[in-house]
Structure 1
């Protein structure tokens, strides 16, 4: 660990799954395991965010979300982190720029759901993200069509690894991105809060971005 941050060796491929995790649930754990397998990742780091700049209200306190995430996701190659809070970044592009500078020789793959790809062009410096790190898209059945029609998918369509080539993503130079179909649990952070299984102050559900 450096300055309380996870350890990674040169040459390793680290998947980054960002979000509020408000709260973390089995669906997050499931897509994490699938991403490691489908994209050939050495580790996955959960980036539990301080808040989402696209959402007006903040999530539950960081300590509560980290504690819950560590109970939900117990795997030797998955690290639960508050990196963005530690390095003081707000936007994904800022976080990635810092990590690339702090971990020379480490390859980062940004992981996100197909629903996030549909709105990806609204993210701060989204072009910079897709041209500097590989992007792995985890799609529920039925989500691929809307994601493929997104501005980002149309602009960078020629760089998509098609078919069953997702395992080549880690070794491809950006821009490079891939879809994998991942049957997901219908459990969600929003549903958990609605059912009263997650009690937290100042509730909202800022996912990635």
Structure 2
């Protein structure tokens, strides 16, 4: 099967960690992607602006974390935040109308997708791959997004066909159960490294 789709993975990457790298490798293998664009968000609108290390530092650290992975490109999701995924993905789809995109997210993010701005529009814009995370399988599969788009779920055995499907279409990918968390790393490290006044 030819590799035709480009994966899009967004996030704060504050900081990036080996779980992010593992997720990229897992998604590229399971979906047979020809490339992945890792989009570093200036600011998640659901989080405080004071919790972030500078964007350029996070981009540099993410590029270092992804070093050596073929066809993986790290770039800013936008020049400044807050950033809404539905807007940044729409711009890429319009800019590259002949490219098949798959939006990749962790199961924890999918579980809370209904809190995102115009999340239904995002579901209807591009196919979505939801990658397993420990403790979030049931929460993701029983989430408002999963229930609202139950008929659009693609069986995991057909994951390689996801890029050829018209959105809404989403697939839950098992096989990756990494415990790493940027939040946990920030709690352990010096808060000043991540632009925080405290470790809360």
TM-score by length of 2: 0.88
SS in 1 for 2:102: strand
**Which one scores higher on RCO, CA 8 angstroms, separation ≥ 6?**
1
Contact 2:133 2:179 in 1 (8 A): no
Aligned residue number for residue 83 of structure 2? 90
RMSD of Structure 2 on Structure 1 (CA):
2.2
Q: Which runs of 5+ in 1 are unaligned?
A: 1-10
Deviations 1:178-204 (Å, cap 9, x if unpaired)?
001133332221222222278232379
SS in 2 for 1:164: helix
Q: Provide the aligned length of Structure 1 versus Structure 2.
A: 194
SS in 2 for 1:168: helix
Deviations 1:108-155 (Å, cap 9, x if unpaired)?
111111111111111111111111100000012542211111111111
Contact 2:131 2:174 in 1 (8 A): yes
Contact 1:138 1:179 in 2 (8 A): yes
2: CA distance, partners of 1:203 / 1:43: 37
Aligned residue number for residue 22 of structure 2? 30
2: CA distance, partners of 1:131 / 1:203: 39
Aligned residue number for residue 182 of structure 1? 175
TM-score by length of 1: 0.85
Runs of 4+ in 1 over 4 A off after TM superposition: none
SS in 2 for 1:52: coil
In the alignment, which of 65, 68, 81 is matched to residue 75 of structure 2?
81
Contact 2:21 2:65 in 1 (8 A): yes
Aligned residue number for residue 194 of structure 2? 200
SS in 2 for 1:55: coil
SS in 2 for 1:110: strand
1: CA distance, partners of 2:100 / 2:197: 34
Contact 2:26 2:176 in 1 (8 A): no
Aligned residue number for residue 140 of structure 2? 147
Aligned residue number for residue 6 of structure 1? none
* Alignment of structure 1 residues 32-181 onto 2, 5 Å: 32-58=24-50, 59-74=52-67, 75-85=69-79, 90-181=83-174
Deviations 1:48-69 (Å, cap 9, x if unpaired)?
0000111123411011111111
Contact 2:10 2:77 in 1 (8 A): no
- CA distance change for structure 1 residues 147 and 13 in 2, over 3 Å: closer, same or farther? same
1: CA distance, partners of 2:135 / 2:186: 25
Q: Which runs of 5+ in 2 are unaligned?
A: none
